[in-house]
Chain A
Amino acid sequence: MRALTFHGTHDVRVETVPDPEIVNPRDAIIEITSTAICGSDLHLYDGVIPGMQKGDILGHEFMGRVVETGPGSTLRKGERVVVPFTISCGGCFFCQLGQFSACDNSNPAEKQDASEAAYGHAMSGIFGYSHLTGGYPGGQAQYARVPFSDVGPILVPEGIDDEQVLFLSDILPTGWMAAENAQIRPGDAVAVWGCGPVGLFAVQSAMLMGAGQVIAIDHHPHRLDLARGLGAEVIDYTQTHVLEALMEMTGGIGPDAVIDAVGMESHGLAPDNVMDTIKQKVGIGADRGHVLRMALMAVRKGGRVSIPGVYGGMVDKFPIGALMQKGVEVRTGQTHVQRYTRDLLNRIMEGQIDTTFLISHRLPLEQAPDGYRNFRDNQNDWTKVVLKP
């Protein structure tokens, strides 16, 4: 089959690799009809997530048709499914609590050592996202092997476009969980840093959860327009002092909740971000924590900070004083996708949530390397890339 493979920083290639097959009883093989490039794929592309190997197949947002099933799968050939990016067994202590991204049984035993060293514990397997989360081949390919296919994949009715449901695989549940983690009460003021796909879905979700005011922060005019289109007020951080503006726009209180939908590769020329960028470039492993620092400074006393943005290592100059003194509550985590897919599919079917407004480019899989380059370098116009294998 053809698949997009990783060969080093800013070097991804479409190659011919062996087709996957059923390896474990609960596996299914999916023929992929649509797959997307995720903002978090850019962290891999930029070489800031450890544990990537040459030849790894990328991609964790995909859907398609079932072409083969193991004896323990509940899927049937021909069924149409969207596949969550987290691989979860459904039966362990964590899955039973609904903490699917903490599944004990999906990250191969011999792959767990590195994440135990890095994070204290190993998290679930994730498709196409480094060997820290299992080294599973991803879905930017013609076919994918899907473990625990009786738990993760969600059946999609015929007659609904791929593009309406594809994002159930990651960014829609991620934006939704970000808003849920912000514990929004009716009328709350919510600030969202980052108007990428997750930030925009967090804006949409916060509105549906009853936020009275959503303020979105970015520097790309087109992305800010998309947020405005969803009903948000916007701040362009290249023009405005963000902390001062957030205070003034919330009656001197500060936002009740702040969502960091940026993560470890924040942009901008703030002094802390410039220092972090240098450290990241020389490879001493510090994340760029600018947005998280700003979020903790911006949030009102006793407010909530939600972090859907991806962080991979360490951050310094962390305003622990602001966090503790103000009594801020922080919630975060890789998305527990399987917890949300059914509810969100219903909301899409009922027309409550639109997912297609994000998509700026549709490319054949063969042009995926162009997609990566542009999604990284032309972020104003390239808001979401869908690949067709």
Chain B
Amino acid sequence: MTRASTRIAVPIALAGAAVAVYFLTQQSRPGHPPDSAPGRTARQGWFGDYKVAGRSITIAAPRQELFARWTNPAELSRFMQNVRSVGEGPDGTWRWIVAGPLASEVTLVTRIVETRKGEFLAWRSVEGSEIEAEGKVFFRDAPAGRGTVVEAIIAYQPPAGTIGHWIAKAFRADPRMQGRHELKRLKMLVETGEIATAANRREERA
């Protein structure tokens, strides 16, 4: 084989083997009782028609401060770079325009269904939303004075199901990746007062 073809063939063979092994391990295991891990880390990532994603992050700030930022649309749009706009309507619903794959935009209309100030909020999509989704955000004291553990979870029906999910993933627009990035940006903003960027000029900043 030429050097160039080896360079391509070896990784493809390895990747193929990895994909096969991955799918073989995605079956649920009868006879194994549930473990302590959060559901979103299960090998089986679908719950009915819903895909569940979530992420925890520890931020060096009090719960009340983080909760206040999370429930203020102006603050949310500072760190949620995948959110084109978010605003609260007169009827108490929130209208989100979120970046989708291939420069598309998705409208999400949600309502907060439960809050415990400084601790917890739950929301779900309502009529007019293009995506069926619901989510929870927990704010808990972190151990050893490290601040607050923020845990954000979303369950959603990807448009066009599994295929839609893979398309979103391929174009770096799936909620799991977006959520991970937004939580990190929130942490940066709270802990340093700014969001890290490698841009050398203001106009290069995304």
- Partner-B contacts on A (CB < 8 A): 18-26, 72, 89, 91-93, 104-113, 125, 134-137, 145, 147-148, 281-284
Contact = CB atoms under 8 A, between A and B. Distances in A.
A104 B193 contact: no
B181 interface: yes
Residue among B181, B182, B196 facing the most chain A CB atoms (10 A cut-off): B196
Interface string B11-32: 1000000000000000000000
B55 to A, nearest CB: 11
A26 B193 contact: yes
B192 A91 contact: yes
Nearest to B177: A113
Contacts of B206: 110
B181 A284 contact: no
B198 interface: yes
Contact of A93 (B7, B10, B146): B146
Closest 9 CB pairs of A and B: A109-B184, A24-B194, A20-B200, A109-B181, A135-B198, A89-B192, A105-B188, A136-B198, A108-B196
14 contacts: A21-B201, A24-B194, A24-B195, A24-B197, A92-B191, A93-B60, A93-B146, A105-B196, A108-B197, A109-B182, A134-B198, A136-B198, A137-B198, A282-B7
Contacts of A284: 10-11
Nearest to B6: A282
Nearest to B206: A110
A89 B196 CA distance: 10
A93 B181 CA distance: 19
Contacts of A91: 60, 191-192
B160 interface: no
A92 B60 contact: yes
B146 A108 contact: no
A379 B8 CA distance: 33
Contacts of A145: 200
Contacts of B7: 282-283
A131 to B, nearest CB: 8
Interface string B59-73: 010000000000000
Interface of B: 3, 6-7, 10-11, 58, 60, 146, 177, 180-182, 184-185, 187-188, 191-202, 205-206
B205 A107 contact: no
Contacts of A107: 196
A18 B11 contact: no
Given A92-B191, A93-B58, A282-B6, A109 B196 contact: yes
A104 B198 contact: no
Contact of A125 (B180, B196, B201): B196
A18 B3 CA distance: 38
Nearest to B181: A109
B174 to A, nearest CB: 12
Contacts of A22: 202
A148 B194 CA distance: 10
A384 to B, nearest CB: 27
Nearest to B194: A24
A72 B198 contact: no
B168 to A, nearest CB: 15
Residue among B60, B184, B197, B199 facing the most chain A CB atoms (10 A cut-off): B197
Contacts of A23: 197, 199-202, 205
A105 B181 contact: no
A21 B202 contact: yes
Contacts of B58: 93
B201 A110 contact: no
A21 B198 contact: no
